[in-house]
Amino acid sequence: MSTAAVAQMPDQNASTEDNIVEVRNITKYYGEDIHALDSINLGFPTGQMTTLLGPSGCGKTTLLKIIAGLLETTEGEVLIHGKPVFGPGPERAFVFQDFALLPWATVIENVGFGLELTNKGTKPEREEKAKHYINEVGLGGFEYKYPHELSGGMRQRVGLARALAVNAEVLLMDEPFSAVDEQTRRKFQEDLLYLLANEKKSVIFVTHSIEEAVYVSDQIVLLSPRPGRIHSIIRPEISRDSTPDEIRRDKRYLDTVEEIWTNLRKYLD
């Protein structure tokens, strides 16, 4: 094991006091034949970003949707603040890969949709909050545009602003940057870390990109091929005080990327 990261098998008896989300013995079958996840026990630390990483079909998105309450488990349970949950809840917000915007609604209406749905505040208060997060994600001036008038990157920013506006404690992000070009993707990664540093959110993030996982994560959970099991947990030792370019040139960053690739490539042979 290199000095670039700390990798370990999860300790199922570890203290749960610092975990905002826990999954216990999560097993998922689709029908009788597809065994998607097998006995996943995992804690997601409060105020940190945990990324689920692994080969295609390993159950990353399945686990994320179970945590969101969008899928039922075959076995096991999800806990928030130590209490079992059985469906979606206001403490969790989902950022979809395909944006999931209302095509007939403007940017400000899309961002404020969750606030309206939960009847949070008066209409002027909801609009003020929506405008705040529209500005936070760099879309000031586009409040009254429709999704078809925006680029893919801008639509993804609307999705992020909508998730932030409802003030959920946990953001669940399913490959949120996969539909944009590489330059935009890198800028999104940098902007996301800046936003989260200010918002103090806990994030569970799914990606296929090793580089992205290492750049944005406090904790990386490496899953095996189906049925998904925890292969290891890696905590990148990267200084967040460095500039984005310095991080991407840092030997610890590069070594961690290579270390994860070495673990993953054996599943592809």
Segment 173-192, tens digit of pLDDT: 998 877 677 888 888 888 88
Residue of higher predicted confidence among 2 and 139: 139
Above 60 in pLDDT, residue 12?
Answer: no
List the CATH number of the domain containing 255. 3.40.50.300
In which domain, by residue range, is 243 found? 19-91+169-269
Q: Is residue 179 part of a domain?
A: yes
Q: Is the pLDDT of residue 4 over 70?
A: no
76 burial level (CB within 10 Å; 0-12, 13-18, 19+)? middle
Q: How far is CA 16 from CA 23, 105, 146, 193, 201, in A?
A: 11, 41, 43, 25, 18
Residue 58 or 32, more confident: 58
- The pLDDT value recorded for residue 168 is 86
* In a shared domain, residues 159 and 173: no
pLDDT-derived band at 246, boundaries 50, 70, 90: confident
In eight-state DSSP terms, residue 243 is: -
Whether residues 34 and 85 fall in one domain: yes
Distances (CA, A) of 141 to 81, 129, 156: 38, 15, 16
Rounded Cα distance between 240 and 227, Å, is: 34
Please give the Cα distance from 101 to 96 (Å, whole number).
Answer: 9
End of a domain among 167, 189, 207? 167
Q: Are residues 136 and 198 in the same domain?
A: no
Give the count of domains, the chain.
2
Flag the least confident range among 18-27, 79-88, 104-113, 151-160: 151-160
Residue 122 confidence (pLDDT): 80
pLDDT tens digits, residue range 212-232? 999 999 999 999 998 999 999
Residue 90: name the closest of 117, 72, 112 by CA: 117
